[in-house]
Chain A
Amino acid sequence: MVRLIIFLIFSAWAVISGIGVITFTNPIYVILWLLSALIAVAGIFFTAGAELVGALQLLIYAVAIAVFYVFVLTAVPWEKAIKKGTHYRMEGVVSLPLVILLYVEMAIVFLLGITASPEGKFRAFIEKFGNTEVVGSILFTKYFFAFEVVSLVLLIGMIGAVLIGRKESQTYENDTR
């Protein structure tokens, strides 16, 4: 019962922060609301018993990626974006039926999926060894190839970011504006 109350608190916090992400106009306020939402989602993970994922959510998302966004916000001139309005009003209104349709679709998929979900077979294993050990052992045995592929994807993304953000030597001089 206490877990349910804590879960509801974190859920309300996450949803309010999400509303803040899509309504505020200043990008600095938006990154603060996004940080709040990430911390609330980490709380949901802790409540669900996924300590490793919650800790990595706090470490990677709420620290590293958020700081990266703040760094990029210092590099782009966001005064112009504030001055000319930061929302598409018409598209925002038109997107609401689309999102409601998306909700209905997801509800159908979830309800059909829950009725067909099998019983857990790792439950006793988790209660015996603890969450982090089980996640690590299965990650490094059954999903080891996917883990290596993800590391390769991270390496390629890093190289791509360096190549894209590199300062070209006057190549696009006539092409700007």
Chain B
Amino acid sequence: MKTIPVEAYFVVSMVLFGLGVIGLIARRNLVTVLMSLELALNAVNVAFVGADAHMGLVEGQIFALFVIALAAAEAAVGLGIIIAIFRYRYVESTDEITDMRG
């Protein structure tokens, strides 16, 4: 049952989370920034489920379900904000939104 070591899950989770952080910092498009955030959230889910399978608990899977639900809410609100920004300012790049006016 324990042929996969828990360190393997954590290595995959770390690599995916780092890629998500690089995307959050280095991307210019707002939608792809949100996609990088989804990648980082998935990395957290991998760590949860991996630790869960290692320790024989089910709390990790439950927290992963909560993370999925909160990511759905975050996607709804974030994409609504992006559509609102585009409607009011006609920009969608992160370096053109330099103030919080309006």
Size of the chain B interface, CB-CB below 8 angstroms: 76
Closest residue of chain B to A44 (Cβ to Cβ) is B46
Closest residue of chain B to A12 (Cβ to Cβ) is B12
Q: Does A121 contact B (CB under 8 A)?
A: yes
Determine if A76 and B75 form an interchain contact, defined as CB atoms under 8 angstroms apart.
no
Q: Smallest distance from the beta carbon of A176 to chain B beta carbons, Å?
A: 6
Q: Which residues of B14-70 are within 8 A (CB) of A? A: 14-23, 25-32, 34-36, 38-39, 42, 45-46, 49-59, 61-62, 64-66, 68-70
Known: A21-B23, A139-B65, A160-B80. Contact between A44 and B90, CB under 8 A? no
Say what secondary structure dominates the interface of chain B.
helix
Closest residue of chain B to A18 (Cβ to Cβ) is B19
Q: Which residues of B contact A56 (CB under 8 A)?
A: 65, 68
Say what secondary structure dominates the interface of chain A.
helix
By Cβ-Cβ distance, the 10 closest A-B pairs, closest first, are A120-B56, A157-B73, A92-B26, A123-B56, A161-B80, A18-B19, A164-B80, A22-B23, A161-B76, A165-B80
CB within 8 Å of B: which residues of A?
1, 3-4, 7-8, 11, 14-15, 18-19, 21-22, 27, 30-31, 34, 37-38, 41, 44-45, 47-50, 52-53, 56-57, 60-61, 64-65, 68-69, 72-73, 75-78, 80-81, 84-88, 91-92, 95-96, 98-99, 102-103, 106-107, 110, 114, 117-123, 126, 131, 134-135, 138-139, 143, 146, 150, 153-154, 156-158, 160-162, 164-165, 167, 172, 175-177
